[in-house]
Structure 1
């Protein structure tokens, strides 16, 4: 059973990329805490289905807003819709990303820019958009999702690895600038999480052998493990945690 965090009840929470994978588990967990959850995703089918499935019995029905996060103007409109419905946003989970495999040779200026847009750029502009809310509320928590992949020197996705390494620099920059307003900024760094997408596209028998050798705890890393850390970082229990990297990877790195 998950811990209950009273400080999350009725809090306005924004989750990007919340329609599937880790993001959907984040949405489910914050709704279960009684938070007012708004989530954004390009996948309208899964987003609407998740919101409907979680509405029954929820203290606050989750709000799904369809938007392409690589379009910053559309992102700002989506955030405004969530603010208008749920009030000042005081928790932001910058979760959206796409770890599409790609080689050095096939990378073009266009695919480079797109990779940065989907894996890094929206994190900054989401934080920029909610920072005034958090200042007005007296504080808040921004949680940027990183990845251990660049730490492990994984190949076959140079743009993704570059973007994910930059997330930790973004976290430290925002933490310094926003700290005087009691806004905490941390990086939640997952290992190889066994989402449906990973299992369908990337996790092969040899991958499982690699995981077994790398992790100190030889058990599947699940989206719930990431959500449990996210709840702590969003709640007042982590009040003096900022500018830090919280790695949840079974001891791989």
Structure 2
């Protein structure tokens, strides 16, 4: 059961990549706080939005947008503003950890990965800040990853992007804090989503990773909802420029 944050009730929230995985759980989490939720995804998420409406009593606004298209992303956020009012909360969740050996990365792959995992977070934050000024402040939660600290031989562009998110978060927090806009980030560990199981996770690899955590159980998408709600609420009013690690206390084996 999630804690209740009264200031999120009625708050306009925008979530990128909200149609599946962690993003879908975030959409549901904010709906259950009675927030006015809009989300974008590149995949048609109409059925998901309809189901959320039935289950929570408040249908989220689904906006079809490719976050790597800055114009389309900002247009979606402005459509959300027209429907719900200026944003109070932005969650930059959309990402893709597609992998490639360093020697095989070409310029097109690099540009795509940085565009999806870093660039779009900045321009979403830029649009969110413009809306938040109209209401005297707001909260931005970016998604980084512990991958930026651990490295990963076949994840160079993704690791670079997520390191960039951490640095960008600290910079934007300094830039906008005086205007009442708080910027923080969450760095998840190995989260067991359907996509991760289909593409990357093996039972042996998962067992090894969980064995390195202080809390010895797999991290589920649901485990990211509570920390995100906390950073999006006034319960974290004096927290800014931080990267909150949600990894079960993972340590690297010697």
Q: What interval of TM-score do these two structures reach, taking the shorter chain for normalisation?
A: over 0.9
Aligned to 1:97, what secondary structure does the other structure show?
coil
**SS of equivalent to 2:62:** strand
The count of corresponding residues between Structure 1 and Structure 2 is 251
Report the equivalent of 2:113. 115
TM-score of the superposition, structure 2-length normalised?
0.96
**Farther-moved stretch of structure 1 (157-166 vs 55-64):** 55-64
Give RMSD over aligned pairs. Answer: 1.1
Partner of 1:11: 11
The residue that corresponds to 2:48 in the other structure is 50
Normalised by the length of structure 1, the TM-score is 0.97
| Structure 2 residue matching 1:142: 3-state secondary structure | strand
Q: State the Cα distance separating 1:57 from its structure 2 match.
A: 5.4
Q: CA deviation at 1:150?
A: 2.2
Quick check: 1:245 aligned with 2:243? yes
For structure 2, list consecutive stretches of 5 or more residues without a partner in the other structure.
none
Secondary structure, counterpart of 1:166 in structure 2: helix
Correspondences of 1:55-66 after superposition (within 5 Å): 55-56=53-54, 58=56, 60-66=58-64
Q: 3-state SS of the aligned residue for 2:219? A: coil
Shift, 1:212, TM fit: 2.4
Give 2:231's aligned residue: 233
CA distance in 2, matches of 1:205, 1:67: 34
Contact 2:146 2:188 in 1 (8 A): yes
- Residue 59 of structure 1 and its aligned partner are, at CA, apart by 5.2
In the alignment, which of 180, 192, 195 is matched to residue 194 of structure 1? 192
Query: What is the distance in 1 between the residues matched to 2:3 and 2:237?
Result: 17
What is residue 84 of structure 1 aligned with on the other side?
Answer: 82
Decide whether the 8 Å contact of 2:210 with 2:218 is kept in 1. Answer: no
Alignment of 1:1-253 (within 5 A): 1-44=1-44, 47-56=45-54, 58=56, 60-253=58-251
Contact 2:52 2:58 in 1 (8 A): no
